Amino acid sequence: MFKIVERERVNPVVNKFVIEAPIIAKKREPGQFVIFRLHEKGERIPITIADADPDAGTITVYVQELGKTTFQMGTMQAGDEIADVVGPLGNPTSIEKLSGEMFVIAGGVGAAEVLPIARKHKKIGNKVVAILGFRSKDIVILEDEFRSFADEVYITTDDGSYGREGFVTTELKEHLDKGRNIAEILAVGPAIMMKVVSDLTRHYKIKTMVSLNSIMIDATGMCGVCRVEVGGETRYACVHGPEFDGHKVNFDLLLKRLASFKEEEKISLERYQAAVGGEDG
Amino acid sequence: MADAKIPRQAIPKQTPKDRVKNFNEVALGYTPELAQLEAQRCIQCKKPFCIEGCPVEIDIPAFIKLIKEGDFEGALAKIRETNLLPGVCGRVCPQEEQCEKVCIMARRFEPVAIGRLERFVADWEIQQNKMDLPEIAPPTGHKVAVVGSGPGGLTVAADLAKLGHKVTLFEALHKPGGVLVYGIPEFRLPKAIVARECHILEEIGVDIRTDFVVGRTASVDELFEMEYEAVYLGLGAGLPWFMNIPGENLVGVYSANEYLTRINLMKAYKFPEYDTPIRVGDRVIVVGGGNVAMDSVRSSLRLGAKEAHIIYRRSRKEMPARNEEIENAEAEGVVFNFLVNPVRYIGNEQGRVKQVELLKMELGEPDASGRRRPVPIEGSEYIMDIDTVVVAIGNGANPLVPSSTPGLDTNKWGYIVADTETGKTTKKGVWAGGDIVTGAATVILAMGAGRKAANSIHEYLTTGEW
């Protein structure tokens, strides 16, 4: 069992959890994820590690409420225990000294996932530019954290309620057109956002990595549900990824595979919400 | 003495009509009367071939004699001298290829039902609410890490714990048992049996650590830093194989590993009570002819498929599945399509598989495996409407441990190079066995490899000689 030591609702749809997992905290590197299973009847879901404190033996994750498991996790409090936390999984992000600027692009809770990567880039001396996109002002997260170390931070909101109105690509395109010396781009967020970023940067021939959020079960290469097509070849996001060259990823396939169990997910969530509603009444 | 007039006793089973509606065990097991009757058929050979036929060398005539005498407790203790997994082995070992194949009775009659008798005594102990533990040697102070809690890892852990070594069993998933829990279905091997036999290991001092992925959570070298003196790698199946034909990544095309893991480990057949979903639809095809294919196709019927098909490129004679499992599948209404091979899958606009194009085959000359090679019949393609595909054609090697372990050699397929007699790898202090060395095989072969490695590890720990 893995104890939640801190739990904070950072916006109306995202919860931050600090969880006791000493071995993972010591071992993890930026870009890696863990698998959670909340309880005996729970499913296994992958969540990227946002931060870790090896001395305290804790890891930090940001979890957006999307389906039954993440809503249920949102009701857990400090002191509660999670049945299983497995990791760190996936390959760490390759972070090297670059000849130009490092652009990190995040959509929504993806901001939490790029945070440790962006920090490490800064630490080894790269210039870091962050573009963080959100639906609206009320769900903006981690802006202060990025501002505390990044060289430039840009916020976009779909509805224009904060920062620049539009998508991350609106902001990114402007920088690309200025001809800035961008060495590498990393995009993390919803699959559709990673797709549009990759489509945009392809024309500028700038290396663009994306972190794929496939469905996973064991996440050690055994089941193959996370398979994605990269450059026409089948790859397993859990052991070969999660980061791949965005210009080579078949995003249409990824989007379809992510929707594999859409109907079942709806049944599960509705059933859960009915049960929780019943308890409250 | 043995009575040749007694026929081999059939094992009572749920009827096919009933059992396709549930995930409960198909074979119900012998009653004490049936077991004693069957035990009378053993002629107690002076030079028993059955012991040689068993990879873990159970003293088969001795335990059968004890059953005949009604000493079931003694019979189980006799088995446990060499095998701590009788409930598992009695159910899933291919006895017809091993102990029963060489049984002297098989020459003129039918072999003694050794597997069913082994299972009987294991089940009998559960019914008595007993748990007899084997004797343990005094602690030696040596620490051993066993990586992977499948049948091979469980055997190594049991053998070394009995010799007094301190064993930690590392498992990547949340439950111990490896393929016994994620792969083999409840209707063939109840998970309570696996849990009980794993619990016996804990009772004799084995520390089981689930949620620990060696190669990620800690490397093999880090295990040595944690003061383990020897490491056994029983990693099991790796990346599932696909055929590399168009449409294999469509939604609704599962690897057998994924399909069975959803069902067995995650209990998707109880969705939505359990959170993990599975979607089956009306018509399922399972590609392959091994035991995993049989498990997948029979599970499909239990999940409500109206039609469940095996698609196999050779004929029934070449199928690697156990005959018993093929017969069970036939009785349950599985449709067998022989001498056909998928060419491509066709999806709808949501990317969900809807059809398969199949190509007919004929058998040509024998290939390297000794089986006649399937040869395509040109122009024989046809289309079949389907809802789900399960690809059960085997697994490659998992790269996590080899790629994070300097000095550990693999062959061109990625399997770990290990000595067949000792299990020693090219890295000092590291042994390996089972599917990660040989490619996909059986539970008992993994256990046999584990047994040999345990002996070699014990020698290394006590002599210090590599």
Q: Domain with A74 in it: what CATH number?
A: 2.40.30.10
Residue A181 and residue A220 in one domain = yes
Residue A107 and residue A36 in one domain = no
CB contact under 8 A, B237 and A222: yes
Q: What pLDDT is recorded for position B218? A: 97
Residue A79 and residue A105 in one domain = no
3-state secondary structure of A265: helix
Average pLDDT score over residue span B114-139: 93
Residue in chain B nearest A250 by alpha carbon: B249
Domain residue spans of chain B: 16-127, 143-238+396-463, 247-257+270-393
B257 to chain A: which residues are within 8 Å by CB?
222-224
**Cα-based angle A153, A116, A195 (whole degrees, multiple of 5):** 70
A87 to chain B: which residues are within 8 Å by CB?
213, 216-217
Whether residue A221 is contained in a domain is answered as: yes
Residue A130 and residue A252 in one domain = yes
| CATH classification (class only), B16-127 | mainly alpha
Contacts of A134 (CB under 8 A, 6+ apart): A107, A108, A140, A141, A155, A156, A157, A158, A162
pLDDT at B89 over 50: yes
Residue A150: Cβ within 10 Å count: 21
Whether residue A94 is contained in a domain is answered as: no
Nearest to A227 among B236, B249, B399 (CB): B249
pLDDT at A276 over 90: no
- Which is nearest to B321 in space by CA: B103, B26, B97, B117? B97
Average pLDDT score over residue span B425-439: 94
Tokens 């794993």 locate to: B198
Nearest to A253 among B174, B213, B351 (CB): B351
Architecture in CATH for domain B247-257+270-393: 3-Layer(bba) Sandwich (3.50)
Contact status of A224 with chain B (Cβ, < 8 Å) = yes
B396 to chain A: which residues are within 8 Å by CB?
none
CB contact under 8 A, A222 and B257: yes
A83 to chain B: which residues are within 8 Å by CB?
174
Residue A34 and residue A147 in one domain = no
Residue A18 and residue A55 in one domain = yes
Query: What is the nearest CA distance from B211 to chain A, expressed in angstroms?
Result: 5
pLDDT (tens digit per residue) in B446-457: 888 999 999 999
Cis amide bond preceding A88, omega within 30:
yes
CB contact under 8 A, B398 and A69: no
A254 to chain B: which residues are within 8 Å by CB?
none
pLDDT (tens digit per residue) in B346-391: 999 999 999 999 999 999 988 887 888 999 999 999 999 999 999 9
pLDDT (tens digit per residue) in B253-273: 999 999 999 999 999 999 999
Residue A108 and residue A76 in one domain = no
pLDDT at A205 over 90: yes
Report whether A139 contacts A74 (CB < 8 A): no
Q: Which of 3.50.50.60, 1.10.1660.10, 3.40.50.300, 3.40.50.880 would CATH assign to domain B143-238+396-463?
A: 3.50.50.60
Q: For residue B52, give Cα distances in angstroms to B55, B59, B95, B121.
A: 7, 9, 12, 21
CA distance B280 to A235: 24
Contacts of A158 (CB under 8 A, 6+ apart): A133, A134, A135, A136, A165, A166, A167
Last residue of a domain, one of A89, A113, A130: A89
CA distance A81 to B239: 32
Residue A112 and residue A220 in one domain = yes
Pairing type for strands A51-53 and A58-64 reads: antiparallel
One fold for B143-238+396-463 and B247-257+270-393: yes
B147, β-bridge pairs: B170, B233
Instruction: Residue A246: give the domain boundaries.
Output: 101-258
Q: What pLDDT is recorded for position A229? A: 96
Task: Give the CATH number of the domain where residue A131 resides.
Answer: 3.40.50.80
Whether residue A273 is contained in a domain is answered as: no
Report whether A47 contacts A110 (CB < 8 A): no
Whether residue A281 is contained in a domain is answered as: no
Report whether A236 contacts B239 (CB < 8 A): yes
Q: For residue A169, give Cα distances in angstroms to A145, A157, A176, B107, B191.
A: 22, 11, 10, 77, 51
Q: What pLDDT is recorded for position B5? A: 82
Which range, of A200-209, B109-118, B432-441, averages the lowest pLDDT? B432-441
Report whether A125 contacts A97 (CB < 8 A): yes
Average pLDDT score over residue span B154-159: 94
CB contact under 8 A, A239 and B400: yes
Q: What pLDDT is recorded for position A281? A: 38
Residue A148 and residue A32 in one domain = no
Last residue of a domain, one of A89, A117, A138: A89
Q: Residue A119: which pLDDT band, with cuts at 50, 70 and 90?
A: very high
Contacts of A96 (CB under 8 A, 6+ apart): A124
Average pLDDT score over residue span B110-126: 95
pLDDT at A134 over 90: yes
Contact status of A152 with chain B (Cβ, < 8 Å) = no
CA distance A265 to A17: 23
Q: What pLDDT is recorded for position B315? A: 94
B247 to chain A: which residues are within 8 Å by CB?
none
Average pLDDT score over residue span A112-130: 96
Nearest to B257 among A87, A224, A253 (CB): A224
Q: Residue A279: which pLDDT band, with cuts at 50, 70 and 90?
A: low
Q: What pLDDT is recorded for position B3? A: 65
CB contact under 8 A, A222 and B266: no
Residue A46 and residue A110 in one domain = no
Could you tell me where the beta strands, DSSP code E, fall in B367-442?
372-376, 382-385, 388-391, 430-432
B394 to chain A: which residues are within 8 Å by CB?
none
Residue A83 and residue A165 in one domain = no
A234 to chain B: which residues are within 8 Å by CB?
242, 244, 248-249
Which range, of A74-83, B76-85, B306-315, B352-361, averages the lowest pLDDT? B76-85
Contact status of A231 with chain B (Cβ, < 8 Å) = no
Contact status of A242 with chain B (Cβ, < 8 Å) = no
Contact status of A75 with chain B (Cβ, < 8 Å) = no
Residue in chain A nearest B398 by alpha carbon: A221
Phi-psi region of B416 (alpha: psi -120 to 50; beta: other; left: phi over 0): beta
Query: What is the nearest CA distance from B252 to chain A, expressed in angstroms?
Result: 8
Tally of domains within chain A: 2
Whether residue A32 is contained in a domain is answered as: yes
Contact status of A85 with chain B (Cβ, < 8 Å) = yes
pLDDT (tens digit per residue) in A44-68: 999 999 999 999 999 999 999 999 9
3-state secondary structure of B63: helix
CB contact under 8 A, B217 and A37: no
CB contact under 8 A, A224 and B274: no
CB contact under 8 A, A88 and B279: no
Contacts of B32 (CB under 8 A, 6+ apart): B70, B72, B120, B124
Express as a percent the part of chain B with pLDDT over 90.
Answer: 86
pTM equals 0.94
Query: What is the nearest CA distance from B200 to chain A, expressed in angstroms?
Result: 22
Q: What pLDDT is recorded for position A280? A: 47
- Which is nearest to B332 in space by CA: B85, B20, B34, B31? B20
CB contact under 8 A, B217 and A86: yes
Query: What is the nearest CA distance from A84 to chain B, expressed in angstroms?
Result: 7
B274 to chain A: which residues are within 8 Å by CB?
41, 43
Mean of pLDDT over chain B:
94
Q: Residue B102: which pLDDT band, with cuts at 50, 70 and 90?
A: very high
Residue A74 and residue A158 in one domain = no
Mean of pLDDT over chain A:
95
